[in-house]
Amino acid sequence: MTSESNPHWIYNQTIKMFAADASPPFEADTELARTWGKVWGIDNDVGQVRSILVHRPGPEMQIVDEKKRIAEIGSFGDVEKGWYFQSDTPPDIPAMQAQHDAMVRAFEAAGIEVHHVEGVDNTRLKSCYTRDPLIMVKGGAIVCRMGARIRRGEELAITRTLARIGIPILRTISGTGIMEGGSFAWLNSKTCAIGVGVRVNRDGAEQVGEVLRRQGVELLIVDLPGYDIHLDVSFLMIDRDLALVNPFGLPYSFLEELKARGIRCIEIDPADDSWIVNSLAIAPGRLVMPAGATNRTLDRLASHGVSWITVPYAAMHKNGGGIHCSTTPLRRDSV
């Protein structure tokens, strides 16, 4: 058979649309827009948010039984059924929903497209914290494997939701890796950090790192102190070179690393402002934050040119997470 009569040769040598071509890379804007309809993914934590993922507390909250308590942690819970609500009072579901709705309205008023998780299992009362089951990087999502056993299974609803929206899934954490998105942060477009501790192990961090390396992104491993579960308990980028931090929840070596990289830090008093670090930057120097920050912290933010939108969030905090925990930006502008 001559080359001229070989159909594979004809297709690949004469018609470019049939030829295999690795360029441009998957994450290129032109490639994503043509193949996936939108430029999905993020490469920073402070650029203007265009699309965001949330889950309004729903029927899954009904699993909380006031007669069930776990004495060791002093909270409502059932070890056999695999749930806990870490408060000394039961959830006020209408208040949680109203506060979540107020947050969503703030996003919509800022021109942000809001997507909702669908298909949440009726036992997964932590599903309102959409930050943890996935990580957004350039070009799409990494589906996590939750460290806390009672949260395992949230990944299924997340995966189905990503597929419905049309967001590429670049990897799913597998094997013995555990990873939760609350411990992942972008410092800038070329550098990320993962807090390793009781909810994230090095295997999970390394699997994320493999994706990042292909994109030319450096990964910093931060060893969290004690039983701190996530990096976002103590660290939040709020502008291109500005972070909000709880210095008592971060190793000194990481604080020094931030300084060496030119990132300035505003320190909060964890006794007064513990939930303020768990705010969300929706644009450079523009935050959505929970009500209750002290004047001292607000003055420090204002002195750095930071502005904010405040929403009540205390009822949502009782389930164990804040505004940052409750949100996963799906698209952000580069900065």
Residue 231: predicted pLDDT: 98
Give domain status of residue 26, yes or no: no
Is 31 a member of any domain? no
User: For residue range 177-205, what is the model confidence (pLDDT) as tens digits?
Assistant: 999 999 999 999 999 999 999 999 999 99
**Is the pLDDT assigned to residue 225 strictly greater than 90?**
yes
In a domain, 30, yes or no: no
Which string of DSSP letters, residue by residue, matches 165-201? HT--EEEE--TT--B-GGGEEEEETTEEEEEESSS--
What percentage of the chain has pLDDT greater than the value 90?
86
245: helix, coil or strand?
Answer: strand
Contact 280, 218 (CB under 8 A): no
In a domain, 70, yes or no: no
Cα-based distances in Å from 204 to 82, 124, 144, 171, 216: 23, 22, 8, 11, 19
pLDDT digits (tens, 9 = 90+) for 88-122: 899 999 999 999 999 999 999 999 999 999 999 99
Q: What CA–CA distance (Å, rounded) separates 238 from 143?
A: 25
- The Cβ of residue 103 has, within 10 Å, a number of other Cβ atoms equal to 24
- 163 lies in a domain? yes
> Rounded to an integer, what distance in angstroms lies between the CA atom of residue 232 and that of residue 197?
13
CATH number at residue 117: 3.75.10.10
| Cα(206)–Cα(318) distance, integer angstroms | 32
Task: Provide the pLDDT for residue 9.
Answer: 58
Task: Please answer whether residues 64 and 125 qualify as being in contact, where contact means their C-beta atoms are separated by less than 8 angstroms.
Answer: yes
User: How far apart (Å, rounded) are the C-alpha atoms in residues 31 and 23?
Assistant: 9
In a domain, 260, yes or no: yes
Residue 296 to residue 306: CA distance in whole angstroms = 14
5 lies in some domain: no
Structural domains of the chain, count: 1
Assess if residue 85 is contained within a domain: no
pLDDT digits (tens, 9 = 90+) for 142-179: 999 999 999 999 999 999 999 999 999 999 999 999 99
Domain hosting 223: range is 39-55+91-332
Tokens 């500005």 — which residue? 242
| Contact in structure between 246 and 274 (CB atoms under 8 Å) | yes
- Mean pLDDT value of segment 229-258: 97
Pairing of strands 184-188, 191-196: antiparallel
pLDDT exceeds cutoff 60 at 10: no
